[in-house]
Structure 1
């Protein structure tokens, strides 16, 4: 019952979308490009699969130029449509921080995997934790799904039947 929302970027985004698809789950790709343009190009097949069997969304019309400023907009959109944000990997300059801050501003849950939270080269992670983000150990990953507000109420409703 968990829908993976990610940005179709290289790395963990690709893994998240592919894993959701391979396990029979659902995924939403939020693009920083128009719907007819995959970025990165190597995710073109993945984008087509998502458009056909899942959901791809973009705020950018066909022909709109791909610009670096598009990606923080995409990340804010992901925060807006998600019940929680789980930061799995990121660097000091990662666009992921835009999504984390927007999620916190919206009152959404933000979890930061401990490899990011404890990285001394990533200052924003510690600052997000001060504002309410929760550091997350790999061993706690499954437990966190019961803490996400929407999912918590859904699981409680199922227990009532």
Structure 2
């Protein structure tokens, strides 16, 4: 399942793309590494969150994993997100995908999704199908997590392909 999800995610990435992501997702990292290994040249930007939930800097973890996999990337401070230019694709993982297509993912996913939506930049979630949930989560969410409305999400990519929600 993981391999197929990674391969489907890598197919989203086209030569010349500027990808933006945040939080940490092994699936997103693997898809970017796979796309790079397939010879697609692209730029990767990772949002460096300023709040440190549980003392961890997930943006830095993601950037380190990408660099270890041979993918060059730049960290962008969360408060500079509005000034980013040239982004062609937003790509995040998910802790859960709700039945209406909303996502639960690490902070600052909501801010990133909203920015992509406002700029009409496609925003995809990449995760395995076992993360598709049938019910709503208990609210409030745990600290460090965001609820991203389905209206901000272009589609969810799993090992089964692309899933769009109404």
Q: Could you tell me the TM-score, scaled by structure 2's length? A: 0.47
Higher-strand-fraction structure: 2
Higher-helix-fraction structure: 1
Flag the structure with larger Rg.
Answer: 1
